[in-house]
Amino acid sequence: MDTAAVRAIDMHVHVEQDDHGCLSLDQELMDASAAYFRSSDNRTPTVADLAERYRAAGMAAVVFTVDAATATGHPALSSEEIAAQAAEHADVLIPFGSVDPHRGAAAVDQARRLVKEHGVRGFKFHPSLQAFSPDDEAFRPLWAALEELGVPALFHTGQNGIGAGLPGGRGIKLKYSNPLLLDDVAADFPGLTVVLAHPSVPWQAEAISMATHKANVFIALSGWSPKYFPPELVRAAGGMLRRKVLFGSDYPLIAPERWIEDFRGLGLKEEVLPGILKDNAIGVLGLG
């Protein structure tokens, strides 16, 4: 990828449908998240849809699905297919893989194949949707493998739009998305880059503390319009964490253009914007 040819790198973009018409979540969860975010764009973009959209916008995008088959009973989209299709659009798409942590050694083997044979540049996890606690000893072999492979791990943290407004939140438990559950991971695997996705409400202070304390912890500012960011996050992004925060939209739930427009409206100094919109991601993704 020619990073000079794009104006921004969106660190958080979902592939919601494959070429066979299969969806990443069941329809009830898809509808609930769309209602929560009031999204108006195509809710179920394919890899090709995303490539066309981001190329027209002059941006690159990190694209992925979430394999939550054990927790939800819904078959996952294929990370292998996503990687292969993204390779056809390597000027704008950067593939991340997803593995189901509950599959143990099979998940570790799949992660290795995704990197070595399919060219994925990182991994996406959603502890609440996948129903696992990242600090559990059972998952240490997976974190060790990702550290050895030298690829970042992007974790959903904080409030969850999936299941929002449904009885019991469809059984999805927010506690697994407390960023402090990743502090052990970051401490015990210092060679693993850990990216905390989203404002980690109601644990925003914890996320800021982790990114301040640990060189291998970053924050991707996806999932919320910046005009709703907690004030402490805005101050940190424009100050002490200006090299540790990354642009992310959570498209198709939030349009990247809307995110950037709202972010520019926060009043941050102009000199911090290039790092947040692109340069910090280049370092995290190893694209430099």
CA distance 89 to 32: 31
pLDDT of residue 36: 60
Q: How far is CA 204 from CA 64, 106, 116, in A?
A: 24, 34, 35
Confidence band (pLDDT; 50, 70, 90) for 140?
Answer: very high
Does the pLDDT at position 157 exceed 90?
Answer: yes
Helix and strand numbers (H, E) in the chain are 13, 8
Mean pLDDT of 116-138: 98
Q: What is the pTM of this model?
A: 0.94
Confidence band (pLDDT; 50, 70, 90) for 283?
Answer: very high
Instruction: Please state the domain count of the chain.
Output: 1
Please report the DSSP string for 198-244 in residue order.
Answer: S--TT-HHHHHHHHHH-TTEEEE--SS-GGGS-HHHHHHHHTTTTTT
β-bridge mates for residue 194, sequence order: 153, 217
pLDDT of residue 228: 94
Q: How far is CA 107 from CA 44, 125, 182, 263, in A?
A: 26, 12, 19, 37
Mean pLDDT of 139-148: 98
Mean pLDDT of 147-175: 91
pLDDT of residue 137: 98
Confidence band (pLDDT; 50, 70, 90) for 87?
Answer: very high
DSSP state of 279: I
Mean pLDDT of 263-287: 97
User: Could you tell me the residue range of the domain that residue 268 belongs to?
Assistant: 3-285
Those residues with Cβ within 8 angstroms of residue 116's Cβ, 6 or more apart along the chain or in another chain: 149
Average pLDDT, the chain: 94
The CATH number for 226's domain is 3.20.20.140
pLDDT of residue 28: 72
Mean pLDDT of 194-202: 97
Percent of the chain with pLDDT over 90: 84
Those residues with Cβ within 8 angstroms of residue 277's Cβ, 6 or more apart along the chain or in another chain: 7, 8, 9, 247, 260
Those residues with Cβ within 8 angstroms of residue 217's Cβ, 6 or more apart along the chain or in another chain: 182, 186, 194, 195, 196, 210, 211, 244
pLDDT of residue 161: 79
Does the pLDDT at position 129 exceed 60?
Answer: yes
Does the pLDDT at position 186 exceed 80?
Answer: yes
Confidence band (pLDDT; 50, 70, 90) for 261?
Answer: very high
On whether the CB atoms of residues 70 and 125 are closer than 8 A, the answer is: no
Give phi and psi for 219, each to the nearest 5.
-125, 125
Convert the pLDDT of each residue in 28-71 to its tens digit.
776 666 666 565 567 788 999 999 999 999 999 999 999 999 99
Mean pLDDT of 223-243: 96
Does the pLDDT at position 18 exceed 80?
Answer: no
